[in-house]
Each structure stands twice: as structure tokens, then as C-alpha cells.
């Protein structure tokens, strides 16, 4: 299956409705930004120092067939790319499309000269409070990102803040260095500056590598 990526730049784009449908089906309501937020993103580009990117993975032979979605933001001053949402259409999961989505974000960050990819994931123990399956899915998701090269940041407390609710959700932070690692303490200083109040240190900061326990 050959795929390519298209960037959505307007709500008039024929891919927008499919992007929105996959987004709404893939993430729980308390972890989603509102559709109005994304409509605002498409209506109001940021200045040159930052960017918001809404991408659709499409079948190369049928570019109206949206197979997966991405939403990420870049901050050139902080040299950080923040991956907000990555999802595969439900009927196409387990067909190895996910690694291509993740690689696209990483490659675009590298091409812009950014050196850190950051994103948030559910904490398995908290997800398990909803159901055992939710906890298992959250743990598998972390291991999947570790296989792609990401590291789990431990020793910090981070709260996701979305516009669909006043409540903030406790999450894990994961990162991938694009270039040389500055070490856990220097990493935390960058995260603390970038997240501006959403993150705090609980103890010594450490990073889980591939295959380590979550």
C-alpha cells in the first residue's frame, strides 16, 4: 500500500471532513481539542516563528482516501515539535501505517532544524481505572512509541490542558531527541520552559529506553 501526505489548510479542503471523522473516533472526549479549535487553526496561520500542521495520510492512487491523521505544532525558537494527535483509521489498524505517520513528524521536525519531538500519552494505571483493556492499550501504546525511538520521561508530573474541559488530565510525557541528547536535567529545563506551568518535577528526572518497563 503506497501512501503520501497532504496538508490541510482550509475547512474547504475535501479531506477536512474525513480528517475530522477519524479524529473524533480515535480520542476520548476529555483528551480532545474542540473541532472549533481546529477550525480556528485553519482560519488563522501563526507567525513565522511557529507552525500548526494538520496532515492527512492518503492512498497515493486515491488521494481522497484518508487513512491516517496527524496534528503537530512547531516552535522554532524552542526548537521543539509537539505531536498532539496521531491516529489510523479504525479499519486500517495493525497494517504498519503508524510508523509512517510517526516518521513523517520526526522527519519534518528534522528538516526544520528542530532537535526535540515531544508528545503526551495516557498513564496505564489511570487508564486501567476505566477498564483493564484501556490500561493494556495505554501500556502497549507506550511500548510502541519506544520501538519508534521515543523515551518516557519519568520523575515529572504533567497535566494535559485541552479546551473541551476545565479539568486537566494527568499524562506521561515522551520525547525523541533529533540530534545529541543534552541529558535529563537539561531536558527538564526545556520542558518546564515550553509547558509553562503544566509540568513539575517530582524527583530525579530519568528516561526509559527501548524495552524498559513502563
| Tens-binned pLDDT, residue by residue, of the chain (214 aa) | 689 999 998 999 999 999 999 999 999 998 999 999 999 999 976 554 569 999 999 998 888 899 999 999 999 999 999 999 999 999 988 888 999 999 999 999 999 999 999 999 999 999 998 888 889 999 999 999 999 999 999 999 999 999 998 889 999 999 999 988 888 999 999 999 999 889 999 999 999 854 565 4
Helices 16-26 and 35-43 cross at an angle (nearest 10°) of 140
Question: Global pTM?
Answer: 0.91
What structural domains does the chain harbor?
A: 1-114 (3.40.630.30), 117-214 (no CATH)
Residues with Cβ within 8 Å of residue 135, at least 6 apart in sequence: 124, 125, 127, 128, 129
- For the record, the C-alpha cell of 148 comes out as 519508534
> Most distant CA pair in the chain: distance in Å?
51
- For the record, the C-alpha cell of 159 comes out as 497535566
> What pLDDT was estimated at residue 180?
82
How far is it, in rounded angstroms, from Cα 173 to Cα 180? Answer: 19
How far is it, in rounded angstroms, from Cα 185 to Cα 203? Answer: 11
CA atoms within 13 A on the CB side of 13: 20
How far is it, in rounded angstroms, from Cα 25 to Cα 23? Answer: 5
Beta 62-75 vs 116-121: how paired, if at all? unpaired
Decide if 67 contacts 86 (C-beta within 8 A): no
How open is the CA angle 49-51-53, to the nearest 5 degrees? 170
Amino acid at each position: 500500500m503506497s501512501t503520501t501526505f497532504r496538508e490541510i489548510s482550509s475547512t474547504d479542503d475535501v479531506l477536512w471532513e474525513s480528517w475530522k471523522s477519524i479524529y473524533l473516533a480515535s480520542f476520548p472526549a476529555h483528551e480532545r481539542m474542540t473541532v472549533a479549535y481546529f477550525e480556528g487553526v485553519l482560519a488563522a496561520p501563526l507567525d513565522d516563528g511557529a507552525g500548526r500542521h494538520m496532515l492527512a495520510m492518503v492512498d497515493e492512487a486515491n488521494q481522497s482516501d484518508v487513512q491516517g491523521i496527524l496534528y503537530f505544532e512547531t516552535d522554532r525558537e524552542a526548537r521543539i515539535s509537539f505531536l498532539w494527535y496521531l491516529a489510523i483509521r479504525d479499519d486500517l489498524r495493525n497494517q504498519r501505517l503508524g510508523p509512517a505517520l510517526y516518521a513523517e513528524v520526526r522527519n519534518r521536525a528534522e528538516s526544520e532544524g528542530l532537535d526535540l519531538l515531544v508528545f503526551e500519552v495516557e498513564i496505564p494505571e489511570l487508564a486501567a481505572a476505566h477498564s483493564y483493556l484501556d490500561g493494556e492499550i495505554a501500556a502497549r501504546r507506550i511500548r510502541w512509541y519506544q520501538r519508534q525511538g521515543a523515551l518516557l520521561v519519568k520523575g515529572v508530573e504533567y497535566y494535559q490542558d485541552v479546551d473541551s474541559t476545565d479539568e486537566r488530565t494527568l499524562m506521561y510525557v515522551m520525547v525523541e531527541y533529533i540530534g545529541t541528547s543534552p541529558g535529563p536535567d537539561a531536558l527538564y529545563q526545556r520542558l518546564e520552559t515550553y509547558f509553562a506551568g503544566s509540568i513539575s518535577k517530582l524527583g530525579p528526572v530519568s528516561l526509559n529506553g527501548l524495552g524498559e518497563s513502563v
